[in-house]
């Protein structure tokens, strides 16, 4: 199941914690662990999907085929669908009943810190403000705060694009280019993210919020980010497969680089940083040469 073996799930059920990735965080008593989707969905008022983007459509198809109806659906999946270039809400509209109340949850959160009870905040976007508010009230605690939004496109574009840019930040830092380079890449990366979002119908202000600038800065500057660590490995000279194996978990930016580049090319949106990261990952361009190409670009107004 998406890289998680049944045996691992059974081990979680027995240990009452995720031994591999969050061994310090015990599951609450009310949490039931199961390998059976129908059992998990039984009598559920809300369904929250948290799977990699390349497994999102398959998960929705399994939900549709289940014997338990889905009343409300939310997802924390970040990324464009690689082949189609669709955002998660567009995939959901294709697979499920378009009248189903849906929402996307995104923002600058590392799982270990949330599990440790450190103060964190996310955005919940839904076209139905009452649905967003209801979910925000349901998941907010004294240390976890949810803000509501209506711009699903903007929230999803931010979540997808920041993973690609985090790879670039890892490459930059791994090559020893310093703080000046990092902040230039983050700032210009935010502009690229915003341009793509606007081309897809997002609202500009969304990208100054938690799911835009917030998530971008987090993943570009902290080594808890798998995407940033992937970039660091590439900068050391590892090839793509070696770098992915070194991380040992799904690197969303690996898939997102292909999808974001494809969508930007189709829409004729200029994203030079994303383009160079794509060329490093997919065309074997040396990381140092990719940075040099960016610096040699013709001068333009900011």
Positions marked catalytic: 162
Single out the residue of 165, 147, 155 nearest to residue 225, CA to CA.
Answer: 165
Structure tokens at 243: 């770098």
**How long is the chain?**
302
**Euclidean distance between CA atoms 302 and 299, whole angstroms:** 9
- Provide the token pair at 200: 């897809």
Distance between CA atoms of residues 42 and 47, nearest Å: 10
Which residue, among 113, 161, 107, 105, has the nearest Cα to 134 in the 3D structure? Answer: 105
Q: Tokens for 31, please give them.
A: 């949490």
Burial class (CB in 10 A: 0-12, 13-18, 19+), 165: buried
The region, left, alpha or beta by phi > 0 then psi within -120 to 50, assigned to residue 137 is alpha
- Residue entry with tokens 């049944």: 6
Burial class (CB in 10 A: 0-12, 13-18, 19+), 162: buried
In sequence order, the 6+-apart residues with CB closer than 8 A to the CB of 236 are 174
Structure tokens at 49: 């999907």
List beta partners, residue 121.
Answer: 145
């Amino acid at each position: 199941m998406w890289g998680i073996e049944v045996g691992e799930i059974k081990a979680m059920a027995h240990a009452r914690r995720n031994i591999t990735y969050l061994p310090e965080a015990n599951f609450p008593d009310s949490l039931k662990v199961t390998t059976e989707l129908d059992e998990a969905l039984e009598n559920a008022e809300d369904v929250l999907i948290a799977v990699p983007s390349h497994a999102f459509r398959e998960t929705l198809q399994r939900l549709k085929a289940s014997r338990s109806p889905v009343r409300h659906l939310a997802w924390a999946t970040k990324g464009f669908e690689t082949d189609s270039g669709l955002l998660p809400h567009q995939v959901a509209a294709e697979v499920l009943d378009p009248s189903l109340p849906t929402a996307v949850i995104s923002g600058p959160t590392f799982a270990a810190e949330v599990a440790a009870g450190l103060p964190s905040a996310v955005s919940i976007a839904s076209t139905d403000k009452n649905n967003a508010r209801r979910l925000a009230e349901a998941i907010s605690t004294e240390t976890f705060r949810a803000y509501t939004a209506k711009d699903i496109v903007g929230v999803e574009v931010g979540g997808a694009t920041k993973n690609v840019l985090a790879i670039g930040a890892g490459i930059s830092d791994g090559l020893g280019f310093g703080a000046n380079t990092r902040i230039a890449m983050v700032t210009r990366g935010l502009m690229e993210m915003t341009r793509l979002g606007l081309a897809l119908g997002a609202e500009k202000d969304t990208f100054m919020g938690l799911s835009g600038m917030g998530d971008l800065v987090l993943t570009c500057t902290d080594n808890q980010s798998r995407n940033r660590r992937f970039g660091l490995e590439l900068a050391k000279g590892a090839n793509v497969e070696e770098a992915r194996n070194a991380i040992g978990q799904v690197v969303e930016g690996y898939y997102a680089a292909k999808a974001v580049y494809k969508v930007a090319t189709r829409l004729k949106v200029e994203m030079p940083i994303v383009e160079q990261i794509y060329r490093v990952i997919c065309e074997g361009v040396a990381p140092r040469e990719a940075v040099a190409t960016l610096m040699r670009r013709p001068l333009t107004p900011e």
